Structure 1
């Protein structure tokens, strides 16, 4: 099994947090989004993962090293591929064409999921979907009476279906998909100005490949600050029975309300922290109340009352605001 992770996007909706790091490296309950995604896919595969191919922009060598380490954590070889221009999903995946062989899972790195199934690798293709109230921002699928996908529609302006594609795909024959992706590029076939994966899947379907819908227990978005904070909350719920407070963390005259993630060398003094709070390594919280928030590494929170918030790395925040989105290396004094 191979996993392909396109993650070259700019992450504009997550600014200011993506001004210094790629969105898929933002932590959820102590681990980067992309690491959570790779681990969750590996869990539902019923065969070993031998390669994880990351499609990135110019993220720097430190990020690349971190991604290769994530692949190694699931027993796979990591490979790095570059998308220099944002030309669409089909173009992005084709940037890792060497990995398009045999069983392949493609997962875009701005979505997470929880599932209780095992991937059926005997199927020719599986597209994971979820019902949504407003399907217009998504690619959607239509089904027939046999529960087979009959049509792919990219961001429909009028109602076609409420089954949105969540960004996770399985194909049994990766080489066949590679051929169809290359056909789009070679013939300059675009939809809404970009080369779309759904067009390649439609061509495969027209040639007899059967695609089935897959269903997840929960679809978790990481597209903006509020969604990411909520996803952090849900993950803390999922993993609350594991050890989430590092032994080096120090608490003094404080109350920690689980579920929380507390990283290495965190100091909490005269404060209430939790529930649903993740605190990165080396951060400190003093004389504050913090709930339902993500605080990244080496950040200081003093005399504050915050919730539904994200604070980046090396932030110093002092004040009373409750709903914050503060990027790396900012100092805000009340």
Structure 2
């Protein structure tokens, strides 16, 4: 923070739930002008949420930003940065949704554009019956193979026998703004039993530049339950992970596990007592992935 700069207003919102007790909490600073990296990291660490988001004016050419409290006709483009309690991350889905909901409550629903380190992320916000819903559009995604030795290390850190994986869902690293290792459990019981070696998994994730490990179990054709260990962010588990949901949507489509046109429902946070619901929309001919959910302010 620059010398004598006032402390910014720090908001707390949850994403992927309309209840403050559900979903994934995020810190939101709608005007981070004057905050340096150290100050943003300090705020994120103080809040202790898996990520916090910080808004400033957009880069030249993207549009004109607007401070909270501006009218509905104000600029709706911003630069956004995300910090976990330990480090900056290139993209965070739940903090994007939380920020969009916070903005909508101040400047009204509509279209937003966020410049992230991973690329430009449009967000559409609607409001109906007192509930605000935001849907982000990811950067262009891709997947890649994971080396056998790295997969074996991940499973050892998780204490998951290879036989507990669902053979219909091959392990892959998927990207839609951040990198996530996708591993599918054969049973709901396997997914529910999560007690991993924090330091060992963190070391592997740093080496592979992973943001989370996306653990999934398929309940039905379009319904999945997911969990996301997040040791690189200083958090044992992320309650609802929009970036990983986008990466998983790209993964499932690329491997032909779901139709090119599909709407997937991801349930996350149930095992933490913070249930949330993420909607992943895939459209034929559109390489990007759309992830939506509700949000609410935490008082």
Fold-level similarity (TM above 0.5): no
Considering Cα pairs closer than 8 Å and 6+ residues apart, tell me whether 1 or 2 has the greater RCO: 2
- Give the strand-richer structure, 1 or 2: 2
Shorter-chain-normalised TM-score: which range?
0.3 to 0.5
Output the TM-score relative to the length of structure 2: 0.32
TM-score by length of 1: 0.30
Bigger Rg, structure 1 or 2: 1
